[in-house]
Structure 1
Amino acid sequence: MFILGMKESLQYSVSLPFLFVSDLELLVGSSYNGTLPLTWTGIFEIACLSIQLQYQPALSLCFSFLRHEINAHTCLDVVSFAEAYNIAQLQEAADDFVQRQFQEVACTSKFKDLPAKQLLKYLNSTSLCVPSELVVFRAVVLWIQEKPNPRLNMAEELMKTVQFSLMTFKEFKEVQSHSIWCNHRLTELYDRIYEDFYYNDSRPQNQCRIYLPKESLVLIGGDQISEDLCSRSISRDIWFGNSVRSLGGINKEIEWRRLGEMPESPRFSHEVAVLSGQLYIFGGKNYYGSGDIFSSVYRYDPLQNSWERLCEMQEKRSSFSVIVLNGQLHAVGGYCEPHYLDTVERYCPTKNSWSFTRPLDVPLGGHVAKAFKGQIFISGGQNSDQLCLASMFLYHPERGSTYLASMSKPRAHHCMETLGEHLYVAGGITTNDNRTVVDQLACEMYSPATNCWTPFTSLQVPHVGAASAVLEGKFYLLGGYSQEDCSDTNMVLRYDTNNQKWENIGQMPGPNNEIRACVLCLPHHLRI
């Protein structure tokens, strides 16, 4: 206030109404220690004072708290605060939270006080994330019944945001039995909704609710076998999931769009990673011979739509794993005809160079490595004898390996992702009691806190060599094949830890085995 050229800097005295000494003490203290003891009880008062005094360091801490600690009970307060002070980025983040956590937000008391214009904005948004149309209907009814006299006039406009035709008969029975229809003012509206659900055969066949995730699933490369099992097709294609479409009942599908092609050769059994919003592609192979394995590395910038060839890995690798840790990329193990590899090398983006780190205890291929809380966890894989392993261990680039509790069964060519406080493992192959390689349908999750494994919902079909990613807190399993009959698994599954179920959300757009996936934030013009 006094050093940034504001008018108060020229005044002899400055009036600061509604300023509490305790709040001013907090701000003065933060200028010395760089911290603020923020809680939801006083965050808005401190933020308002920081705005009034134009104290940017404290304001930055307040905004950081509001973005990272936002929840279903506070998000609408954050929206109101950001709107009142015209803080566009904070309002966008808060609006986004409301829409993507709508089911939970709609159950809070503050939801009932939403202005009608704001409610309609949320209900008509393609960022509205709901598991079914019944959630939208319940929210609309709850809002109307809070103040029925003035709000019943908006019932027709609000009910238009509910796509009743996408409901199951069971869901629509709940709609029919709701007490809101007892009001005679809604009789005509109810009749139209009823007739449209049961008797309207003219509505569009492709009617759906479209949901646009903030980020996109991206599929890179991969292999595909022909229907007669006589030929293979290896791809350079890159696809992204633009939207998730709810088609009715529990039926959903991803709308895939083609993003482009990888440079040079098509590839499979490669690896990908995302660092600083850019896509990295490593190694892999374009056929099954010793000369068909790559060491090349490419980087794709989605904002510039440009590719850059980077320094090659020091070894050719396929069926390996790459993780991002502390701003660097680690390529772990893999296979290079005719040997499995125990080497690990680290890429430094600022120097564009690779250097070897401590090797693995044993050569590994078909394993998965993931970074979790600053540590590298490695599960399963095959050794030099092509035996599947049940191991789980921590790898440190300087100190080497520390073995943890093993999985219940050996596993390789599987997927592993971090969700919350666990690492979830699904798909792949295993060996039975006769040492025969078979599909692995059982799934299990690992708790680093307790060093133990727990089973979770099994797969219904094989997913060997599938891709995986985590988008908006859900585990996506994409494609794969069956080791036992060589057939492709051309479906996308999504695991929700809340209901502990796998959900089928459509088909793969093209190649679907030994493919890789990641999550990228893509430019707006690609998503329209």
Structure 2
Amino acid sequence: MRQEIGASSCLDVASFAEAYGMSELLEDANDFVLKNFWEVSTTTKFQDLPAEKLIDFLCCDGLCVPSELAVFRAVISWIEADPEERMGQAGLLMRGVRFPLMTFREFREVRAINLRMECFGNKEVELYGSALKEFGFSLPTQDLCRIRRPKDALLLVGGDQLTPDVGQRVPSREVWFANSLHSGTGLVKDIEWRKLCEMPDKPKFRHGVAAMEGKLYVFGGCYFYTKDDIMKSVYSYDPGQDSWKRLADMQEFRSNFSVVLHQERLYAIGGDKEINTNVDSVEMYNPEKDSWSFVHPLDQALSGYAVTVVDGGIFISGGFDCKYVCLVSMFLYHPERGTVYLADMAHDRAQHCMEALRGHLYVAGGVCNLRKFYTDQQACEVYDPVADSWTAFASLPVPHVSAASAVLEEKVYILGGYCQDDYSESGLVHRFDPSTQRWENMGKLPGPVTDIRACLLRLPQHFRDKCQII
């Protein structure tokens, strides 16, 4: 039944789980409602929700919405489904709307809707006065934020800084995680970051990361900026034991590459084996034997690409070819059968991000070709594997070159990177919400901002609680 939880079914699953005392299923269903509240509020089932259940959702800190105005609109739609019966409960429900988190422009809609609702069946209703009092005289304190604590933690691993003096740069050994997501006034959002641990051995950037069976894996990368500073070492981190373990080295030195989990095996794909020399090799890690073996190579040497897995297929987009030209290619890679080319992207790009969400592949950021140089690529596009076609979506508000990315709770996160045109750091986090088709600013990163890597990992709650708050 967990697999069947969706916007139209989650409330039915929650009712079933509550009726039969299935606490874990009930928690999962209610959590789905909270993290997809706006989508759920547009369904027919939402209109039948009992008032006491609705107020429970509204008052929960973990309610995930684009803005507090979305909460108000959901309440109004619920009332208008049966105004004669529900108008008397409007005042109680409005207590779940955190009016101080609205902007003045959003609050004008509250007044307009209130004027429309002032009289239903000779029953006078006056919501605006109490809402105005709360909006105008309550301060948006920490307690008034919507604070979402995802079950999966978004991890940031390693990374680099941008300073004119290469000798003064200090690559990072740190691992951070997003403990909670905060929604404040209007569109103001940020992330509470906590430091998880530090990697053993040397710092890393342009490395590979993956999560498998509750552990974090870190591969290769660079620890400095000269020819011999590329690594092939591999480590795993067990959050339950708070400990690192050295694993078998990869067979190739690799940086500016990625690792993907495919059919219970990890694959290290292409990358640079030394400065300005990339490779076509792919190798597979067997965790049972702690060993690496080469599999079918790529059609050409490739680095700075983006890769993700959808429905068991490994999709690879863009990147640098052997002459370090940005590509438009998209292909499906198989470790035994090799490459099948798909429809080209509309824009060439490398050092970009690609993430799978709802059966589609979202591509954002990176650099593109500009005569003999590179420039920022802010155009974004989404790939439909069924139609083998690309469609544009909202461009990034700022450049994100060599950024990290992840999908957390049905939203695409682009983290850090830099601006190619002026080589300035882009230490911001932007989040794309497919339901609103817009990018949201989620605040700044806690440490190094470029050539970092990200993944999701379930962390023990007691361990999250003791980690240092930043």
Q: Give the TM-score taking structure 2 as reference length.
A: 0.90
- Counterpart among 421, 424, 434 of residue 359 in structure 2: 421
How far off is 1:180 after superposition?
A: 4.6
Instruction: Provide the aligned C-alpha RMSD in A.
Output: 2.6
In structure 2, relative to structure 1, the CA distance for the partners of 1:91 and 1:288 (3 Å cut) is same
- Of 225, 229, 235, which residue of structure 2 is paired with 1:292? 229
What is the CA deviation profile of residues 154-186 of structure 1, one whole-angstrom value per residue up to 9, with x for unaligned ones? 655533321101112232122223245558886
2:393 is matched with 456
Corresponding position of 1:172: 107
Tell me how far apart the structure 1 counterparts of residues 202 and 71 of structure 2 sit (CA, whole Å).
Answer: 47
1:100 Cα offset (Å):
2.0
Of 158, 178, 193, the match for 2:93: 158
- Change in CA separation of 1:412 and 1:105 when aligned onto 2, cut-off 3 Å: closer
Distance 2:142 2:406 in 1: 31
**Equivalent AA in structure 1 for residue 444 of structure 2:** Q
Q: Does 1:476 align with 2:398?
A: no
Partner of residue 78, structure 1? 13
1:367/1:113 CA distance change after superposition, 3 Å = closer
SS in 1 for 2:161: strand
Once the two structures are TM-superposed, the CA of residue 148 in structure 1 deviates from its matched residue by 7.0
Q: Corresponding residue for 2:458? A: 521
Show the counterpart of 2:324: 386
* Equivalent position of 1:374 in the other structure: 312
Report the counterpart of residue 155 of structure 2 in structure 1. 218
Residues 140-289 of structure 1 aligned to structure 2 (within 5 Å): 140-143=75-78, 155-177=90-112, 178=114, 179-182=116-119, 187=126, 190-198=128-136, 200=137, 204=141, 207-226=144-163, 231-289=168-226
**Partner residue of 2:60 out of 109, 120, 125:** 125
SS at match of 1:438: strand
Amino acid aligned to 2:105: K
Q: Does 1:348 align with 2:283?
A: no
1:347, distance to aligned residue in structure 2 (A): 0.2
Q: Residue 103 of structure 1: which of 13, 35, 38 is its match?
A: 38
Q: Would the aligned equivalents of 1:141 and 1:180 in 2 still touch at CA under 8 Å?
A: no
Matched position secondary structure for 2:424: coil
Structure 1 or 2: larger strand share?
Answer: 2
Q: Following the alignment from structure 2 to structure 1, what is the Cα–Cα distance between the partners of residues 60 and 240?
A: 24
Amino acid at match of 1:211: R
Q: CA deviation at 1:277?
A: 2.5
Counterpart pick for 1:363 among 301, 317, 329: 301
Alignment partners' CA distance in 2, 1:201 and 1:143:
26
- CA drift of 1:151 comes to 6.4
1:404 maps to 342
What SS does the aligned partner of 1:134 have?
Answer: helix
In the alignment, what sits opposite 1:323?
260
Inter-CA distance 143–461: structure 2 relative to 1 (3 Å threshold): closer
Calculate the TM-score normalised by the size of structure 1. 0.80
CA radius of gyration, larger in: 1
SS in 1 for 2:406: strand
Task: List per-residue Cα deviations over 1:287-340 (Å, max 9, x = no partner).
Answer: 111221111111122233222221111111100111111000000111122421
Aligned-partner Cα distance in 1 for 2:234–2:128: 60
Asked if structure 1 preserves the Cα contact closer than 8 Å seen for 2:153 and 2:458, the reply is: yes
**Post-superposition offset of 1:421:** 3.1
Which stretches in structure 2 are left out of the alignment for 5+ residues? 466-470
Distance between the aligned counterparts of 1:485 and 1:230, measured in 2? 20
Q: Pick closer, same or farther for the CA change 1:442–1:102 going to 2, 3 Å.
A: closer
Question: What is the DSSP-based 3-state SS (H/G/I as helix, E as strand, rest coil) of the residue aligned with 2:182?
Answer: strand
Task: Report SS of the residue matched to 1:122.
Answer: helix
Q: Does structure 1 conserve the Cα–Cα contact (< 8 Å) formed by 2:345 and 2:390?
A: yes
Contact 1:290-1:336 at 8 Å conserved across structures: no
CA contact (8 A) 2:257 2:303 kept: yes
Helix, strand or coil at the partner of 1:493: strand
Residue in structure 2 matching 1:135, options 66, 70, 81: 70
Structure 2 partner of 1:53:
none
* Residues 345, 186 of structure 1: alpha-carbon distance in 2 compared, 3 angstrom cutoff: same
Conserved 8 A contact 2:397-2:439: no
Kept after mapping to 1: 8 A contact 2:177/2:193: yes
Q: Which deviates more from structure 2 when the two are superposed, residues 228-237 or residues 436-445?
A: 228-237
SS of the equivalent of 2:302 reads coil
> Retained in 2: the 8 A contact 1:225–1:231?
no
Q: Deviations over 1:490-524 (max 9, x none)?
A: 11111222332222221111111001011122222
- Deviation of the 1:239 alpha carbon: 1.2
Closer, same or farther in 2 for the Cα pair 1:228/1:291, shift >3 Å? closer
Q: Aligned partners of 1:202, 1:369: CA distance in 2, in Å? A: 45
- Determine the structure 1 residue equivalent to 2:369: 431
